[in-house]
Amino acid sequence: MAAVTVTAATAARPSAGGRMVADTWTSMLRVLLNYRHSPGLLAASLAVPVVMVVVFGYVFGSAMQVPGGGDYREFLMPGLFAMVATNGIMPTMVGAARDVGRGVTDRLRSMPVSRTGLLLGQTLADLLVSVLVLALLALVGLAAGWRARNGLGEAVEAFGLLLLFRFVMTWVGTLLGLAVGKEEAAGQLAVMVFPLAMITNAYVPTGGMPGWLRTIADWNPISAVVHACRELFGNPSAPGDAWPMQHALLASLLWSAALLLICGPLAVRKFATHGR
């Protein structure tokens, strides 16, 4: 009888893989419900792309020229897509720091849950929201004259690359938020994403920058993603001589893999050992 009881208990106990899937799903729903109860947050996320196209495409665009010719708004759109991907750092960093500050992280750690599943669910929820933001930005871009000129196949590759980079950036933000541990500090640190995004080829060609700044911009992971998307979409570009600009797609994948392999395990470890 004892053997039967042990066997039944073992059968009822979920496997590690099953637990991770269940915890990933629960964590993802938790984040998505937060958007449901905070419609202003979702509205702001969807409004930003429209503002970005108007400000950069029409206000600043009249004074911009693309080396070699070409429409500036077509040059700009891949950069704006990459900015949406990069901005994945900010909400996840602030959200992770908020959970630490409010004791949510400590409560979750005390439960028999998958640490990886909890963090993965948060990043996947952010990825679903980013699909909506990218879709809206693409529609606004189409209305402004942008086109994916290399066909549907390469356009799908470009958006796949953007979603991959967004996924990676959410892990970077999660690690930073867990490390900071305070929502106010995370909000202030999020401002640093702005100069990181500006020292790139997203808005202007890097050829007009001073030599040292151009080197930083050309080796910025965001620049590789932007240039790879311009090539895949068939939009105007101004590639530099640096290796990431000559092999933009490969460089983007290598940067993404390196950041994910570093930040993912560190974020899970930081979550599991927080407060110790």
What amino acid occupies position 44?
Answer: A
Q: Pick the more confident residue, 247 or 94.
A: 247
Q: Pick the more confident residue, 269 or 26.
A: 269
Q: Pick the more confident residue, 181 or 166.
A: 166
Q: What are the pLDDT digits (tens) for 57-101?
A: 887 777 777 777 778 889 999 999 999 999 888 888 888 888 888
Query: What are the b/e assignments for 57-73, b being 16+ CB within 10 Å?
Result: beeebeeeebeeeebbb
Q: Cβ contacts of residue 61 below 8 Å, gap of 6+? A: 72, 73, 76
Structure tokens at 139: 């529609």
pLDDT band per the 50, 70, 90 thresholds, residue 200: very high
- Stretch 7-17: mean pLDDT: 48
- Amino acid 221: pLDDT: 95
Fill in the DSSP letter of residue 190.
Answer: H
Instruction: Decide if pLDDT at 189 tops 80.
Output: no
Q: What share of the chain is helix, strand, coil (3-state, %, to 5)?
A: 80, 0, 20
pLDDT band per the 50, 70, 90 thresholds, residue 198: confident
E strand or H helix at 134: helix 115-143
196/199 Cα distance (integer angstroms): 6
Q: What are the pLDDT digits (tens) for 28-41?
A: 787 777 777 666 66
- Report which of 167, 179, 21 is spatially closest to residue 93, judged by C-alpha positions: 179
CA dist 183 → 95, 107, 180, 228, 231 (Å): 8, 17, 8, 34, 38
pLDDT band per the 50, 70, 90 thresholds, residue 251: very high
pLDDT band per the 50, 70, 90 thresholds, residue 229: very high
Q: Cβ contacts of residue 71 below 8 Å, gap of 6+? A: 145, 236
Which one of 22-26, 48-52, 136-140 scores highest in mean pLDDT?
A: 136-140
Q: Cβ contacts of residue 249 below 8 Å, gap of 6+? A: 161, 228, 231, 232
- Amino acid 6: pLDDT: 34
Structural contact between residues 235 and 146, judged by C-beta atoms closer than 8 angstroms: yes
Which one of 35-49, 90-104, 253-267 scores highest in mean pLDDT?
A: 253-267
Handedness of CA 111, 112, 116, 119 (dihedral sign): negative
- Stretch 16-21: mean pLDDT: 70
Instruction: Decide if pLDDT at 55 tops 50.
Output: yes
| Residue 102: burial class (beta carbons within 10 Å; 0-12, 13-18, 19+) | exposed
- Stretch 118-147: mean pLDDT: 88
What amino acid occupies position 260?
Answer: L
- Stretch 194-218: mean pLDDT: 88
Radius of gyration of the chain (CA): 21
227/78 Cα distance (integer angstroms): 8
Instruction: Decide if pLDDT at 220 tops 90.
Output: yes
Q: Pick the more confident residue, 125 or 32.
A: 125
